[in-house]
Structure 1
Amino acid sequence: MFQKYDVIVVGAGHAGCEAAHAAAKMGSKVLLCTMNMNTIAQMSCNPAMGGVAKGQIVREIDALGGMSGIISDRSMIQFRMLNRSKGPAMWSPRTQNDRMRFAEEWRMALEHTPNVDFWQEMITGILVKDGKVRGVRTGIGIEIEANAVVLTNGTFLNGIIHIGEKQFGGGRTGEAAAKGITEQLVQLGFEAGRMKTGTPPRVDGRSLDYSKMEEQLGDENPEKFSYLDITEPLKNQKSCWITYTNKEVHQTLETGFDRSPMFNGRIQGLGPRYCPSIEDKINRFAERERHQIFVEPEGWNTVEIYVNGFSTSLPEEVQYKALRQIPGFENAKMFRPGYAIEYDFFPPTQLHLTLETQLIENLYFAGQINGTTGYEEAASQGLIAGINASLKIQEKDPFLLQRSDAYIGVLIDDLINKGTEEPYRMFTSRAEFRLLLRQDNADLRLTDKGYQIGLADEVRMNAMQDKKSKTSHLINDLKQKKWTPDEVNPTLEALGTATIQEKTTIEKLLKRPQIGIQELKTSNKDFDHYLSKYSKEVLEQAEIQIKYQSYLEKEQQMVQKLSNMENFRIPHKFDYLALSALSAEGRQKLNKIRPETLGQASRISGVSPADLSILTVYLGK
């Protein structure tokens, strides 16, 4: 009935979709297994992609040849570039998306990807022989063979949904939990744990009074995630809205605390620190009289509203009563209550940097199974797992991203070396080279890498090279072009910056914080005409590189210093336990994680500088 596949992907969420697409595009024959074909790429939580640091990840996925950026562009109903008032390292694109269109676009993209087959059924186990994965076993007992398997089970592994004192099995509301895989992996020697996440109630937008809320418009000139010019910019956008909780809301919510699964001990797993439930916010920040609520439409043609900021697992009648005390929600009709979900995960310290497990060869984990939270974090892991599964069975070198290459590299390095005891979320503060890892230059950083492994196509490569060439040409011109005091001083005075006394290059003027290319364009018609041949992206890239040149050079020097350690490889079977000079904790951590390089070893919690020096000496011998 089934042929033998190169790669089987279990789960069709954000991680599974990227894994299946990447492996198939790189030439592998792929089977994507899901419990429900109608929930492929379901946005289980908020209908949005990107945001702070997450937007950078979506751009990186796109630059490598993944699909999340394109799917987001095709389904967006609003675009905002967050943190525009800060430096470019903080600029973060975010889209509000049509939930149904997002899932539909992903399914259509996968159906039109050669080499992808589908199978709708629960997967209850993997096939293992001689320490190597051989395929999967389905709920009705079918065995399907494969050279590699990628598990992207999300919140489905032994998932339990909590609403007040009620609890029932499920991986998502209305969908069954996945049984069997955790138990088998534990028998094979894997360590498992429990985590929890939550979601807010959904309400009928027709029952809300928006006059009592603050309107949140999209950007005047909306951009896109993808570097490919294949979708039209948004001409119309849907607004989001902001309102706030108050003392009455908090008091009502507190009446249900004694029945809250979070407070009475029924939930054992740790929840996301940076996306807490409303009851957790009230408990932890008792001094605050109000909390922000984002009112987010779920699509172009639906009245369903996502109440962002009101995630809860309190009894449904308490949720309903408290909701109706929020300004604008006085007559709110609830579509479904919020709930918490508890699920199994596997500490990611059990993985290689390729996301292949250390215990079972050719078995890969990606997404929430690794203890992360967020669509973007999951999608990036799926992409890397799919790439490496395909490369491994083709007997090619693995694909690894360093911390200085991408936020994706930071994410995976953090997971493997530090592990996580709570759902991991990406922030710009986690990246020590964030000035290099901007959203605007992800294509310049990564498209060539994606092209070399056969994921990014020639169209992407040509577009990146064109942007790179034109940016370089423009910067060189700006270093040569000089303006006289008469030409530029009126503009400088108007901008409140010092005038010049002699001819000065435009490059030197642009290094001033008060001056940008747009300001100089409006002051000089000839310059405006000259710049008209360059795209907005090229102008922005040139300005950033000129303004931040010295800072970028310093970060590059730091990267170079660290790269020497990254290139110092450690034999996989190195016997750390025999190295008595290492600290006890150092031996234990190094033996458990088994770093591949000295650089990776330096980032493991518990490995001291003295341990590192001793390790360097022994490796040098």
Structure 2
Amino acid sequence: MNKASIIVIGGGHAGIEAANAVLSKGHKVNMFVLDSSAIGRMSCNPSIGGLAKGHLVKEIDALGGIMGRAADNSCLQFKTLNKSKGRAVWGPRAQVDKIKYASASKSFLTKHRNFKVISEEVVDLIVKNNKVLGVITSNKNAFFSDAVIVTTGTFLNGLIHIGKDNYSAGRIGEKAAHNLTDSIINLGFETGRLKTGTPPRIEAKSVDWKKLEPSLGDDNPQPFSYKTKLPFKNLNIPSFIAYTNENVHSLLENNLYNSPMYSGKINGVGPRYCPSIEDKIVRFSDRSRHMLYLEPEWMDSNQIYINGFSTSMPKKIQLSALRSISGLESANLIRPGYAIEYDYFPTRQLKSTLETKSISNLFFAGQVNGTSGYEEAAAQGLLAGINSVLRIEESDPFIINRNEGYIGVLIDDLITSSINEPYRMFTSSAEYRLSLRSDNADFRLTEKGFKAGIVSKSQYNTFIIRKNSVKSIESAIIKKTISEESKSISAQKYLCRPSVGIQDLFNFIPSIKHKSGAALFTAETNIKYEGYVSRETIRANAMLQNERVKIPKNINFCQINGLSSEAVEKLNKVIPENLGQASRIDGVRPSDIMCLSIFIKQERFT
């Protein structure tokens, strides 16, 4: 069989995972980038994971992806966030060496002989009979393929803002991509503008570290990837905490007219949940200070990332504000913070495979879909990559349902919701979050990925060993009865007490004592969460009934009696693939779903 060639436009987190998924299936990849040295570059924060984002990383890894392994290979500090809450919403996060991370990501691709990097700007798509056939570059070269995946990040007509100055760029120091947006618009696609931003970087030697609070990671963390060799090397390099103050707030407030966001110079909408420092002082004016984290961008780096101080103020104002913070009185800027606005394509134009609805074999993934964050981009890239291969192989698509993973929640939210600001993943977005823990991502997805051909035999075998270990622990606990105050109680029931941990069973069940920490944690959590998960499973099964009801492609929503005018408008705009998707569209009411369901059933029997 001749393996088909797939083109990936862009070498960021989405592009890397898309390429890796395609290569895992044995197909050829041509990756088009503006700068080959920028593949895998972390344009903003030097970290991977966090709240809900850590779940995405674990799921990407469970499906054979790169992100978790690259983070483990470059980890400076590993910390589990949200530990004051239940285990299901704990968020694993790695602070990483940005240089090593990019190098590791790229090396996972370049080891494949089917991978080729082409440093030319794509300016047009070759389309015939509503099917993409390849791309044309700025050098007027034509490259043909069986599928194209667009993962251009913030580069499409990117415009950087620093104070009243603005200039064209994909990110600072890198040129923007022009013409491709117009090419896609000419194919009938809608587009919009969004905004994101990044904090300033300062010299480490200009910081008075004695005035700041050190913040260390976990002492004995588990790595993101089960492919990472144990024991996990944990450098635990500290970050440091600083605080803004009323002088900083006053300075920024008096200069809001210099901020492009408040002067009206930026047309794109920014993320509410990752606000700039200007947004913080306006929206949270009652607060006298805001916490900042100073994080090294790589090992022994003189370049410090100021997490929590995203801004697009003029360089002079940024520096004055920073020097008003205790410990930063002598701070020197290496690079100012900036805002960037860019083109994106509303995701109602996509199927659940991330293939476009109007042009076959054309896929969009990452920030071009209106999302925010490395992890969200990587998850989309993986899904687009595997589905591009399955599309050209004429195989069934690879779909992750909402009850199977955060990736499923992410994709479903994108294709059924109206994205009017950068989308960010939250645990609250997942209605089945008690079942979707970060520690059981492999149990939920690895076998599914193996059957689809993106998980290797060695990774699958590692999973089976871990699965058997967890099951043996659970079996030993379920079978054991222990004595407590002259009464017998099952070890399973005893473990479900909030004050009891699995280590309290070691004296009663010595056989489990020497199992791995990861296996013990998963087994313990499975038992403690069993009742909650059972209830979620019942709800999920009810939800899946609607997912199985496919909506005919040629349906005319205007002809369905009983649908509200708003429902007709929204359904025509989104064109859902099944009844479940239709039920999650804003403005479509339960009564509309009932009418739609009756109509579909009647159509089947006519």
The two structures have a TM-score, normalised by structure 2, of: 0.97
One-letter amino acid matched to 1:599: G
Counterpart of 1:512?
A: 497
SS state at 1:456 partner: coil
**Distance between the aligned counterparts of 2:38 and 2:502, measured in 1?**
46
1:598 pairs with 576, 579, 585, which one? 579
Matches of 2:516 and 2:499 in 1, distance apart?
22
Instruction: Name the SS of the counterpart of 2:132 in structure 1.
Output: strand
Q: Describe the SS at the equivalent of 2:263.
A: coil
CA contact (8 A) 1:6 1:393 kept: no
Residues of 1 paired with 2:304 and 2:382: CA distance?
A: 30
1:537 to 489, 511, 518: 518
Alignment of 1:66-465 (within 5 A): 66-230=65-229, 232-465=231-464
Structure 1, 233-242 or 244-253: larger mean CA deviation: 233-242
What is the deviation of 1:501?
3.6
Q: 1:330 to 1:540 in 2, by over 3 A?
A: same
Q: Amino acid of the residue matched to residue 405 of structure 2? A: A
Q: Distance in 2 between matches of 1:358 and 1:436?
A: 31
2:77 and 2:234 in contact (8 A); partners too: no
Alpha-carbon deviations, 1:135-174, whole Å to 9, x = none? 1111111110111100011001001100001110001001
**Deviation at 1:4?**
10
Number of aligned residue pairs: give it: 601
Equivalent pair of 1:4/1:146 in contact (CA under 8 Å):
no
1:232, CA displacement in angstroms?
Answer: 4.8
- d(CA) in 1 for partners of 2:184 and 2:36? 26
Amino acid at match of 1:482: T
**Over residues 228-256 of structure 1, what are the superposed CA-to-partner deviations in whole Å (9 max), with x where a residue is unaligned?**
24365124221011111001111222232
Does 1:556 pair with 2:537? yes
In structure 2, what residue type is equivalent to 1:572? Answer: K
Code of the aligned partner of 2:153: G
In structure 2, distance between residues paired with 1:344 and 1:514: 52
- Structure 2 portions without partners, runs of 5+: none
Q: By how many angstroms is 1:598 displaced?
A: 1.0
- CA 511–455 in structure 1, closer or farther in 2 if over 3 Å, else same: same
Q: Is the 8 A contact 1:256 1:315 kept in 2?
A: no
Deviates most, 339-348 or 595-604 = 595-604
The residue identity in structure 2 corresponding to 1:565 is N
CA distance in 1, matches of 2:154, 2:458: 36
Match 2:553 to one of 565, 572, 578: 572
Which segment drifts farther, 600-609 or 366-375? 600-609
Q: Secondary structure at the match of 1:449?
A: helix
CA contact 2:259–2:313 (8 Å) conserved in 1: yes
Distance (Å, rounded) in 1 between the aligned partners of 2:129 and 2:33: 27
Deviations, residues 331-376 of structure 1 (Å, cap 9, x unaligned):
1111010000010101101100000111111110000000000000
Provide the identity percentage: 47
Shift of residue 222, structure 1, vs aligned partner: 2.0
Given that residues 551 and 579 in structure 2 are in contact (C-alpha distance below 8 angstroms), is that contact kept between their aligned partners in structure 1? yes
Q: Tell me how far 1:377 sits from its aligned partner.
A: 0.2
Cα distance, 1:37 vs. partner? 0.7
> For residue 493 of structure 1, what is the aligned residue in structure 2?
none
1:580-617 per-position Cα deviation (integer Å, ceiling 9, x unaligned): 43111111211221211111111111111111111111
| 2:47 counterpart residue number | 48
Aligned: 1:619 with 2:584? no
For residues 314 and 226 of structure 1, what CA distance do their matches in structure 2 show? 39
2:591 and 2:18 map into 1 onto residues whose CA distance is: 40
Aligned residue identity for 1:502: K
Paired letter, 1:259:
N
Separation of aligned partners in 2, 1:114 and 1:405? 33
CA deviation string 1:429-458 (max 9, x = no partner): 000000111000000000001101111011
Q: Are the counterparts in 2 of residues 24 and 114 from structure 1 also a CA contact under 8 Å?
A: no
Contact 1:314 1:339 in 2 (8 A): yes
| Cα distance in 2 between the residues matched to 1:64 and 1:564 | 25
Asked whether the equivalents of residues 311 and 339 of structure 1 are also in contact (C-alpha less than 8 Å), the reply is: yes
Which position in structure 2 is the counterpart of 1:610?
591
Instruction: Name the aligned partner's letter for residue 495 of structure 2.
Output: L
- Once the two structures are TM-superposed, the CA of residue 5 in structure 1 deviates from its matched residue by 5.6
In structure 2, what is the Cα distance between the partners aligned to 1:460 and 1:267? 46
Report whether the alignment pairs 1:63 with 2:34: no
Question: Structure 1 residue 531: deviation in Å?
Answer: 2.0
C-alpha separation between the residues in 2 aligned to 1:474 and 1:264?
A: 61
User: In the aligned structure 1, how far is the partner of 2:85 from the partner of 2:249?
Assistant: 34
Aligned residue identity for 1:346: F
The 1:4–1:36 alpha-carbon spacing in structure 2 relative to 1, beyond 3 Å, is farther
TM-score by length of 1: 0.95
The aligned amino acid for 1:129 is K
**Paired residue secondary structure (1:137):** strand
2:104 and 2:278 mapped to 1: Cα distance? 35
Contact 2:195–2:268 (Cα < 8 Å) also in 1: yes
Structure 1: gaps of 5 or more residues:
486-499
> Does the aligned pair in 1 maintain the 2:3–2:27 contact within 8 Å?
no
SS, match of residue 478 in structure 1: helix
Q: Pick closer, same or farther for the CA change 1:235–1:430 going to 2, 3 Å.
A: closer
1:388-411 Cα offsets, whole Å, 9 max, x none, are 001101111111110001000000
User: In the TM superposition, what is the alpha-carbon distance from 1:277 to its structure 2 partner?
Assistant: 0.7
**What letter is aligned with 1:611?**
D
Please tell me the residue identity of whatever aligns with 2:403: S
Structure 1 residue ranges, 4+ long, deviating more than 6 angstroms after superposition:
none
- The separation in 1 between residues aligned to 2:282 and 2:586, in whole angstroms, is 31
Residue 90 of structure 1 contacts residue 428 of structure 1 at CA under 8 Å; is this kept in 2?
yes
Displacement of 1:285 after TM fit? 1.2
